[in-house]
Amino acid sequence: MSIVLSGIRPTGNLHLGNYFGALKNFKKMQHENECYFFIADYHSLTTHPTPDDLHGNVRQVLIEYLAAGIDPETATLYIQSDLPETAELYLLFNMNAYKGELERVTTFKDKARKQPDNVNAGLLTYPSLMAADILIHRAHKVPVGKDQEQHLEMTRTFAKRFNRLYKVDFFPEPVAYNFGEELIKIPGLDGSGKMSKSDDENSAIFLADEPKVISKKVMKAVTDAGPTKMNSPKSEPVENLFSLMKAVSEPETVQYFNDLYNKCEIRYGDLKKKLAEDIITFIEPIRERIKEISANDAYIKKVVKMGKEKAHISGSKTIKEVREIIGFREFN
Ligand code: TRP
């Protein structure tokens, strides 16, 4: 059984792209592996040193994780700052992390450009904190997107370096976990690119969106002037609507509109109307669960406590061994 770990920064509500890109697979994965899912609240300070509502954001992501099907009894679902052993491992990794290699990381360069007035040490050492997240549970597999591959590479570097420096075979070299062909690309509604919360707010459909909001967003989605030749290729915005439809609708529905498109008889208004309906139906059980869980503070509290305890069992074991390996030993 592999140890799988995944983390998400609490910077906003989860959307359909998060669902199809990760959450949907987590639901199955948790039964086949030893899974750790955590909310990276320490990490969020690298870009938002004084978050408006850190606690509320953490709570929301936690609720949405649960609503999407993560079972806190089966997997370990916890908040990063509830496992301070992570911070200790981060400190120790930083002692063997070099300025040059950290400065070369693409995400660091991007962030430094975006926030020139706040190029803080946390931003520079983001990869060592992420390595600590992963290696505190000695995880083997990390389901991440392309943008996180370099961070994972750094994690392997820190793991190998630790093993070499202290002459042990302690940390595994974690690899990216691919969901294989099941991974569906979820585009946004603004005509190009993938669904993202940072773009235009109408481009993403959030798991907590009310039906009316979903309809409004879908009806406003970018399209084109319509096909003029039979069987012509689709423009990106139209292809995107079909991709969304493939994710949430019955195959017959996709086929139906595809045939209309090929015959140049398609009316985008009809397609959008059906797409909105199907997204609403698809999201409904998740939205209902979000509401139910939100209203149940006692349950949330219980889940957080359980996650903290389970994460601590694994994390404290690792840090105890790391201390022993480096030479922080007890006096008898
Ligand atoms: N860097 C990840 C992101 O921006 C979040 C993250 C933090 C993470 N620690 C992690 C992901 C550990 C996987 C494993 O999305």
Distance 168 CA to ligand 1 centre (A): 26
Sheet containing 76-79: which strands, arranged edge to edge?
Answer: 76-79, 34-39, 3-8, 141-142, 175-176
Q: Which domains does the chain carry?
A: 3-177+297-326 (3.40.50.620), 201-291 (1.10.240.10)
30 lines ligand 1 (CB under 6 A): no
Which residues form the catalytic set? 111, 194, 197
Q: What region, left, alpha or beta, does residue 54 occupy, with left being phi > 0 and alpha being psi -120 to 50 degrees?
A: alpha
Res 180: pLDDT: 67
Res 155: pLDDT: 98
Provide the residue count of the chain.
Answer: 332
Per-10-residue mean pLDDT for the chain, 332 residues long?
Answer: 94 91 91 97 95 95 97 98 98 98 97 97 98 98 90 98 98 89 79 80 92 97 94 95 96 98 97 98 97 98 98 98 96 89
Residues 5/36, Cβ–Cβ less than 8 Å? yes
Distance 226 CA to ligand 1 centre (A): 40
Residue nearest to atom 3 of ligand 1 (CA): 8
Res 201: pLDDT: 74
Indicate if the alpha-carbon torsion angle 40, 126, 47, 195 is positive or negative.
Answer: negative
Residue nearest to atom 11 of ligand 1 (CA): 7
Res 182: pLDDT: 60
Q: Look at residue 237 and give its three-state secondary structure.
A: helix
Q: List Cβ neighbours of 74 (8 Å cut-off, separation of 6 or more).
A: 30, 31, 35
92 lines ligand 1 (CB under 6 A): no
Backbone angles phi, psi at 295, to 5 degrees: -85, 0
Res 3: pLDDT: 97
